[in-house]
Structure 1
Amino acid sequence: MDGIRPHRTPDVEFSQKAEEGVTDNAADFPVDAAMTTFEAIDVADECTDSAQHEAENSPPVLSAEEIDAKKEQIRQLKNNSLCDPLDRVSDLAASFFIIALEGTHAPANELANALHDAFSSPLDSEKTAMIESFEIAMKKEMLSFIKTTFITEAYQPAAAKVIDNYIRELVSRRDCVRLGAAKAEFLLASGLEDEKHAEAMQRDIEALQQGVYHSQLEMRQALSIADGAYSAVDMLDQFEMMLRRSSRSLPTLDTELQHLSLLADSWDDFVQKYAPWTLKKR
């Protein structure tokens, strides 16, 4: 991990945020023509020519059938649930704490501190999708450490199941956010009649729904590395190789390596702080 401490100007590819409610407000403001009055205005010839030029270059008027089809498409997207209405991430985190508290041999405050550190992040919100994948994998590693260090063997199977479900929900929620953002961007591009961008967003939507979007592939690879690594150090080294083999700009790569270094430091601090409980468990 010595190679993951570069010093360059950051140029991060930020993760996108989702807007779950996309509405068509055109129908919310009806105009009553009977209440509208007009005054005659003398228009100069050049103004008339300009208006004619704008009219000739304005977007084509949609037919009634096309308008109805677009409204139906928007209605379906609005009614289609992007995510589970109940956020199970918090519930699963609470479930893990309850199981750990029932099956621990350590003081409750020490267990609470360890869980707080595991659920916290050393990174800010400005991180790439790949770093976000590494962060989730590291969170699983820390929770697994708590399971084996603080929790007695009788409670470990239940704790392991909650960890798997918690990570699965984290990944699902992340995919929901990206899917919602892609759908909102698709609607915006369609409304602006930017067919090229709309088609690109449609491809992203299909990829996300099929589980083959690039961030989903990176997430699966990161979790696979975490499950197969013989140690956290080995896992972090493989994450570094994964970054270096990707086609990213140098500024972005430097920032990602800095973030990976922070994750590595966080793991070292976590282990040094709570490893003594491994001996006390005996």
Structure 2
Amino acid sequence: MEGITPGRRIPLVDLGQLGLMHDEEPSQEEWQRVARQLHDAFTDIGFVYLTNHGVSDDQMDHLFKSSATFFNLDEETKIRYQRDPEKQQGYVAVDRETLDKSKNSHELREAYDLKSIDGLFPDAEVPSLRPAVTSFLKSCTTLNNRLLIALAHSLGLERNFFISTHKDICSDNNMSCLRLLHYPRVPDTVPEGAIRCGAHTDYGTITLLFQDNMGGLQVRERGGSWVEAVPVPGTILVNVGDLLQFWTADKFLATEHRVLIPTEEVRLKASRHSIVFFIHPDDPVLIKPLDNSSSYQPITARDHVLKKFRHTYNY
């Protein structure tokens, strides 16, 4: 049986001067401190909690509420906004996406993918969603740019290396995506093999995760044990994606993770919500190991993601 390590903490990093509440340029010492701490976390478990990030509680609350309003709509209405495989925007029904193909699992999860502010939104039913997403994405994109600079510092690269390869986030030239996730209330009889989200790695550079307080997320550390990624109020959980692992020739770890159904959730008959911002390089960027090793064959950012989509989506 796979081991669970509830006591081992994912590292916590205080962004300090890099947080959005600070407009002035951080000191070199602050850049280096955050860079060093991110480096330590990403070479170890591949995940980190960020504090003092500056994304406001109001922004998060508005988006969580708008998201919940959409997912509370009837299925017939939601399906009118189903995800377009070409544009990667829209509603993803339960079992439309299966991340764990290793067994006959039932993934109790629905989502709304938002790749562009100008794309498909349920404006008639949830008029608050588009403005909430617009505000939230503005903050997250600014924060992401600061993290990309810190990552470049952590690897001894030119300051704008990752900025220059992520210029077109949330455009037709980039696969970055804001995903609203809803894990519906578990039925009285939980289906055999049911899970919230199958074990997988993320596909891009880094991922920003905003959790509610329900829990269930687990991370597999290098030794193979599953670690509980418990919700920590006021933090963003950030993790490494495949393409950053490719770039760093396995120095940074794209950690496998999953979402289970906690016993407490079943008892409370509660649902679970989260917001995820998947950060990807621009589509034509060729990803190859920075150390010029042969650890991975070169692949464009777009080709890698489309390969993953073909494997996981059931259209």
TM-score (norm 2): 0.30
Q: Which has the higher strand share?
A: 2
Which of structures 1 and 2 has the larger relative contact order (alpha carbons within 8 angstroms, sep 6+)? 1
| Higher Cα Rg, which structure | 1
TM-score (norm 1): 0.33
Q: Which has the higher helix share?
A: 1
